[in-house]
Amino acid sequence: MRKRILIVDDLHPAFAEKARELGFEVDNKPLINREETLSIIAGYVGIAVRTKFRIDTQLFDAASQLKFVARAGAGLDNIDEIEAKERNIQLINAPEGNCDAVGEHAVGLLLSLMNNFCKADEEIKRGIWDRESNRGFELKGKVVGIIGYGFMGQSFAEKLAGFGVRIIAYDKYKTGFSDDYVREVSMEEIVKHSDVLSLHIPLTKETKQMVNDEYFFHFKKPIFFINTARGEIVSTTAVLTQLKKGKIIGAGLDVLETEKFPSLGEQPWFDELKASGKVILTPHVAGWTFDSYRKISEVLGRKLAEMKL
């Protein structure tokens, strides 16, 4: 059987180079669509994808020789993990490759929110010089609560270490992870003490719409809210409600329940979201830097080398 890999997304050449070193034939087709992929996937033992389309039962049925899926990124939510496991198809991803990017982006969102960077910039460009309404908050002395302490959560904590903050973290699936940067705590301590809340958890059936009005209700202090994880974890209407109530001081959202236009613009909450002066939006780019583009492929290449096919 020929060892062939189909790349269906834009990946840094480092992955293909490593795969060829390992004896694979690599077809790099970043412009291929789903229908074209389904028509040829039977000839491949591996497929590499970012976010172009879902790797699901239909694709697995067409991929009679498939042994692995390489996801160029951190999350596996666009892959049917249960189906892959049942078919003994291995999954590799690369959270190590973009965790620094995500950590830095989250810090950037937080600093921008706390110091009104976007608002101040817009006002000055419109001829408004207003120091008082742009008075900011300092990070030093604040309590930062992190939900999820995998690669992304750890990176965010490390980047914050020099700011004089107290960092606490809760992870439902990990214990004993207190380190030089963070103290492991219960969810009760997160909601009691946090001045900042940052999400670093995957999208699963359990986490979908997890962060809603009831979730925010339990927080004892007004918070700055950061989401660089997945948009569907959070109810956007709940964020807007809590902004109006003052429970959320400001929100930095790199991800949304609905992404890309025109669909995003058609959401009933979008006009209110973009009109809010307390929200910073970025287009799902926290983990997508020039550096992470390369590092993700390098990580996938190393993991490919370690696989037993």
Q: Alpha-carbon distance 114 to 187, whole Å?
A: 24
pLDDT of residue 2: 79
- Whether residue 10 is predicted with pLDDT greater than 70 in this model: the reply is yes
Task: Judge contact between 252 and 276, C-beta under 8 A.
Answer: no
Q: Does domain 4-93 have CATH number 3.40.50.720?
A: yes
pLDDT of residue 145: 98
Region 4-25 average pLDDT: 98
Q: Which residue has the tokens 């996937």?
A: 41
**Per-residue CA distances from 115 to 8, 60, 280 (Å):** 41, 49, 12
Return the structure tokens found at 150: 């995998």
Region 125-131 average pLDDT: 98
Return the structure tokens found at 276: 């809010």
Region 97-105 average pLDDT: 98
Active site residues: 230, 259, 284
Taken in order 154, 139, 291, 281, the sign of the CA dihedral is positive
Percent of the chain whose pLDDT exceeds 70:
100
pLDDT in tens, 258-290: 999 999 999 999 999 999 999 999 999 999 999
Task: Judge contact between 9 and 48, C-beta under 8 A.
Answer: yes
For residue 97, what is the enclosing H or E element?
helix 95-114
pLDDT band of 1, cuts 50, 70, 90? low
What kind of fold does domain 97-281 have according to CATH?
Rossmann fold (3.40.50)
Tell me if domain 4-93 and domain 97-281 are identical in fold.
yes
Region 234-253 average pLDDT: 98
* Domain ranges (residues) in the chain: 4-93, 97-281
Q: Which residue has the tokens 């008075």?
A: 135
Q: Alpha-carbon distance 88 to 79, whole Å?
A: 14
